[in-house]
Structure 1
Amino acid sequence: MGLFGHVGRWEGVVACPLTPYDDAGDIDTERYGQQVEFLLSSGVPALCALMHVGESLNLSYTERELLASLTVRATGHRVPVMVHVSCPGTDHTVRLARHAQSVGADAVIVTSPYHWHPGEEGLARHFDAVAEAVDIPLLAYSPPPSAGTPLTPGFVAGLARRHGHFLGLKDAGNHMGVFGEFARAAEAVRPDFSVLGGIEYTLPQRALGGAGSFSICALVAPRLVMGLWEAALGDDQERARVLQARMTRLLSLLVPRYPAGVKAAAEIMGRPMGGVRLPVPSLTVAEKGRLATALDEARVTATEPFGWDPYGHPAPGSPALVGTARSEAEPGGGDSHDGHAT
């Protein structure tokens, strides 16, 4: 059995919620629940709470445990919920993993320890400790070199051999050659292992044997995210190339000021999530204005819903008619919002 009890490997998009703050800078739990409902109604087949786009590094342990519990409650087990539990210290990571399991999470995901470079033995003991602390599925997270020690295909294959519930990998290096090596190494050990991309380079990841991707754009552009996945899954290469080009352009707008740019874009799309905690500064008014113009030029505002109704119209004053927007968002016709997890 693969990830989430799936026969064979689990495939799909894993949306990563943002952390909303109120005017006092505290977590806005009501808005968080509204965000979860929007993502599920948009068709995403799984969520991962407390990824970096959700500012996990800027949250206290109590806040992380709160959001893990809230995500499980808000989904009502309609889709699988992963919880990101990474910390610099192994004991802290184990604590959060055990908490995630205790509140009903379906899986935990763990990256290499931040800052430390403990060598392969230290990394193995770190991941082994988490795997031995929980019974739910475990995913590893291979970070870019700036964030920790990237994992290797051989290391991941070894974890899969040692732990039957180690069932997935997120590769955030965005190096397609390495991604393909991960997919080949995992398949050789267990065909039900899911290798997922760190962000939505869905078409090349799929071509290299990937099972899907994590999504930082689902709150901003859910129709594009799901349309791209459906096209790649269905081997509609022409449609997938068009949508991947649009997605790549959107990522170029949001990644440089990540996660502040993602929050600002969500606000522009009528889904405000508050500011960003330091040391990451929020976008200025002028920067938000330039981002809004760029989103218009990329036709995001013309093709995506404005506000919290995933089936709603684009923003008032959008440069495109609703029918035109939908046909562009879904080349080949149709306004599909259903996710796929096979």
Structure 2
Amino acid sequence: MNTNKVSRYKGVYVAMYSAYDDAGRVDTERVKRLARSYAGTGVKGLYVGGSSGEGLLQSVEERKRVVEAVLEEVKGELTVMVHVGANSTPDSVELSRHAEQCGADLISAVPSIYYRLSDAAVERHWQQMIDSTSLPFVIYHIPQTTGFQLSPALFERMARQDKVIGIKMSGESTYELQQFKDIGGEDFLVFNGPDEQFLAGRIMGADGGIGGTYGVMPELFCSLNRLFEEGRLDEAQQLQVRINRIIRSLVGYPSLYGACKYMLELRGIETGIPRGPLLSVAPEHHEPLAALNREILALTNEYASSR
């Protein structure tokens, strides 16, 4: 594996939200404005069509429109990793090929969900995506939602392939993260998934992170990453604690994505409400979220001024 080729993908990626119009249809202009809002924040790139992007709640054609809009807006400015996982292998392959045609930098996928699949079934599912393009592939491991526990044996087989360059590790164990890094090797990328454990993941070997709450505080996660890279671990730990207080507030609402999207609306970035069955924000939550939004902006300014 070419170390320099892989290392250029390290860093902080926003797991980008969906963007709909007022009728709940994908709105490509809103998608573009959202993507544009992250350029210049310090993030390495965008993870498009994953959990935070509601990819599995959209049709194949909707997902394609989102990817096209993102790449039209920020291609060449931000690294774009497209989640192409779908329940059926043919849909996943179609999305993979489309991502490459549009100029995406990498593709990534969860295993198919709902059915309880064997290692062999998941391996075949992923392999067909990998073989369908020339793009690097990043495994997406999130067993608490997919119901699939990636075994060390399957992971090792996948990681031996040149095009499989990393894993988005959204499981809750930093020990498991460290084991993936150990098995994959120094040149294999591991992205921390749980936002609350960004610093712990980096300490245990992660090369960066991909997260949903990054979308309302990208600069804070970039600051956290910078403090880690500079060896200022006490300060990094203090910032992670402050970030986690914000996350604890966010997950206390009926819809995390609804809460995050409402805060973006307060900043003038319209993304619509989440697609059902995900909930939108209730009116009684508007003022508490406005206060939380002010807290995030103040903390962002604090760390920006302390650089």
TM-score of the aligned structures, taking structure 2 as reference length = 0.92
Query: Offset of 1:203 from its aligned partner?
Result: 0.9
CA distance in 1, matches of 2:90, 2:265: 37
Check whether the contact 2:171–2:194 (CA below 8 A) recurs between aligned residues: no
CA-based RMSD: 2.0
Give 2:192's match in structure 1, choosing from 197, 207, 213: 197
Query: How many residue pairs end up in the alignment?
Result: 304
2:249 to 246, 253, 264: 253
The SS at the match of 1:279 is: coil
Cα distance in 2 for partners of 1:96, 1:108 equals 9
1:152-191 equivalences in 2 (<5 Å): 152-161=151-160, 163-187=161-185, 191=186
Check conservation: 2:44, 2:78, Cα contact below 8 A: yes
Letter in 2 for 1:142: H
Are residue 90 (structure 1) and residue 77 (structure 2) matched? no
- Could you tell me which residue of structure 2 aligns to residue 277 of structure 1? 275
Structure 1 position 330, deviation (Å)? 4.7
Judged with a 3 Å threshold, the aligned counterparts in structure 2 of structure 1 residues 205 and 95 are, in CA distance, closer, same or farther, namely same
1:206 paired residue number = 202
Q: Secondary structure at the match of 1:82?
A: strand
Gaps of 5+ in 2: none
Deviates more, 1:5-14 or 1:49-58: 5-14
Query: Match of 2:213, SS?
Result: coil
Per-residue Cα deviation, 1:85-117 (whole angstroms, up to 9, x for no partner): 111111211111111111111111011111122
Matched, 1:144 2:143: yes
Tell me how far apart the structure 2 counterparts of residues 21 and 67 of structure 1 sit (CA, whole Å). Answer: 10
- The 8 Å contact of residues 9 and 79 in structure 2, kept in 1 or not, is answered as no
> Is 1:288 the equivalent of 2:286?
yes
Query: Aligned partners of 1:214, 1:303: CA distance in 2, in Å?
Result: 21
CA distance in 2, matches of 1:86, 1:14: 18
The residue type equivalent to 1:274 in the other structure is: G
Name structure 1 gaps, 5 residues minimum.
305-325, 335-342
Residue aligned with 1:123, SS: helix
Post-superposition offset of 1:199: 3.5
Query: How far off is 1:8 after superposition?
Result: 4.3
Give the CA deviation at 1:2: 5.1
Deviations 1:140-199 (A, max 9, x none): 1111333230213332221021x2110010011121121111111111xxx321000113
Q: Which residue pairs with 1:234 in the alignment? A: 230
Distance in structure 2 (CA, Å) of the matches to 1:21 and 1:90: 26
Contact map agreement 2:110 2:146 (CA 8 A) in 1: no
Aligned to 1:315: none
Question: What SS does the corresponding residue of 2:214 show, helix, strand or coil?
Answer: coil
Corresponding residue of 1:129: 128
Structure 1 runs, 4 residues or longer, greater than 6 Å off? none
Where 1:276 maps in the other structure, the secondary structure is coil
Check conservation: 1:167, 1:194, Cα contact below 8 A.
Answer: yes
Are the counterparts in 1 of residues 6 and 165 from structure 2 also a CA contact under 8 Å? no
CA 1:276–1:159 in 2, change beyond 3 Å: closer, same or farther? same
Q: CA deviation at 1:16?
A: 1.8
Structure 2 letter corresponding to 1:287 = H
Asked if 1:216 corresponds to 2:212, the answer is yes
Q: Which residue of 2 aligns with 1:338?
A: none
1:37 maps to amino acid: R
The aligned amino acid for 2:187 is D
Which of the pair is proportionally richer in helix?
2
Residue 9 (structure 1) shift = 6.8
Change (3 A) 1:258 1:152: farther
Contact map agreement 2:28 2:65 (CA 8 A) in 1: no
Q: TM-score, normalised by structure 1?
A: 0.83
TM-superposed CA distance for 1:218, in Å, is: 3.1
Structure 2 counterpart of 1:322: none
Which residue is 1:109 aligned to?
A: 108
Q: What are the superposed Cα offsets for residues 24-74 of structure 1, whole Å, 9 maximum, x if unpaired?
A: 222222222111111011111111111111111221111101111111111
1:71 aligns with 2:70: yes
Aligned partner of residue 20 in structure 2, secondary structure: coil
Secondary structure in 2 matching 1:62: helix
User: 2:245 & 2:264 partners in 1: Cα distance?
Assistant: 16
C-alpha deviation, 1:223, in angstroms: 2.1
8 A Cα contact 2:167 2:189, kept in partner: yes
